[in-house]
Chain A
């Protein structure tokens, strides 16, 4: 996948995943690295940046195995940002699809 596409949508993907449910870092990292093929270590600095922007919050929760896990959740501000990003994304993909939709080489 084009590396520049990934950069643009990484925030969106993280926020969207957190909108479904609270998740811990490993979960986010492994899912994202699987789907859009980034290295796992990328996700943690991104989460930290989102937290410092107030878009996500973190809390510790006991797990069945091992030490408590650090969960991330979407804040109200994060929801707003997600809505904005989603709108941008949908507009953008719709526009691009008008041009490239259904074409193959």
Chain B
């Protein structure tokens, strides 16, 4: 596979991502080929070292989410590293290339164990299966020359800062937001408004009622006490009103602003990252 084939294959595989992101990624791989060729490597060689476009794309799209589930696997001790069941995925262990051999020869790195590649790959490649996985999930893959392993889907790990972009879902977000607005937010707003009215209205009504009762129903209380009761109730109502109004209005405005910002962001298509 030469550079042009590789890049167009990669671009095709990435079509679920926003076009700006795809351009950026392809540009980076383009540059990779250019630098490699300036070092005298052939395009085919570089492409082989990169791993297949499908696998690279899978890694970008983050949809090679493995069915790694400690609970269902019944593993009592979690592994020290995030361990992902091996399926089809990124190709690693490409073997030792010429540059690597040079690196080891001049003593820069410790010499690894080099396995001679087997003549013929057996049909049942260990860990490249899809079924019955629990048992093999934590066992160590046996390295026999070239083999396909899956690298972890990094996006699933919790990160300390920032959010993972979820480009794949972007085109569905707007429709989702509109439906959500109609069926969830509008009713919620109505309910919230009703509660607000109730919350402020109740003490007011209670205050007036108690005032009326104490003042006018004979034998319950004197006129003065009734007026005092009414004043206290109304004061409570006023305090409640101030509190509720402050938080409710603030919350309402902030929430609405955030909400519309979110929708607007979806509309304009979020642009994250970007090179300087």
Interface residues, chain A, with chain B CB atoms under 8 Å away: 1-8, 10-11, 24-26, 29-30, 33-35, 37-42, 44-46, 48-49, 51-55, 58-60, 65-67, 69-70, 77, 80-81, 92
Assess the B151–A7 pair: CB atoms within 8 A: yes
Contact A4 B92, CB 8 Å, known A41-B50, A77-B161, A81-B160: no
Assess the A60–B275 pair: CB atoms within 8 A: yes
Q: Which residue of B lies closest to A10 (CB)?
A: B151
Assess the A25–B31 pair: CB atoms within 8 A: yes
A8–B82 Cα distance when bound, in Å, is: 7
The 8 Å CB contact of A25, one of B28, B60, B160, B273, is B28
Contact A38 B25, CB 8 Å, known A33-B49, A45-B60, A53-B160: no
Q: Which residue of B lies closest to A49 (CB)?
A: B154
Assess the A37–B112 pair: CB atoms within 8 A: yes
Assess the A37–B159 pair: CB atoms within 8 A: no
A-B pairs with beta carbons under 8 Å apart, 29 shown = A2-B140, A4-B83, A4-B140, A6-B151, A7-B81, A7-B84, A24-B35, A25-B28, A25-B31, A33-B94, A34-B109, A39-B92, A40-B51, A41-B50, A41-B51, A42-B51, A42-B56, A42-B59, A42-B92, A44-B29, A44-B56, A46-B154, A48-B25, A52-B163, A53-B164, A59-B276, A65-B38, A66-B38, A69-B35
Q: Which residue of B lies closest to A37 (CB)?
A: B93
Q: How many residues of B contact A (CB 8 A)?
A: 55
Interface of B is mostly: loop
* Segment 30-44 of B: residues with Cβ below 8 Å from A: 31-32, 34-36, 38
A29–B81 Cα distance when bound, in Å, is: 22
* Segment 9-49 of B: residues with Cβ below 8 Å from A: 25, 28-29, 31-32, 34-36, 38, 46, 49
Interface residues, chain B, with chain A CB atoms under 8 Å away: 25, 28-29, 31-32, 34-36, 38, 46, 49-51, 55-56, 59-60, 79-84, 86, 90-94, 96-97, 99-100, 103, 109, 112, 140-141, 143, 149, 151-152, 154-155, 159-165, 272-273, 275-276
Assess the A70–B31 pair: CB atoms within 8 A: yes
Contact A4 B81, CB 8 Å, known A52-B272, A70-B28: yes
A42–B93 Cα distance when bound, in Å, is: 12
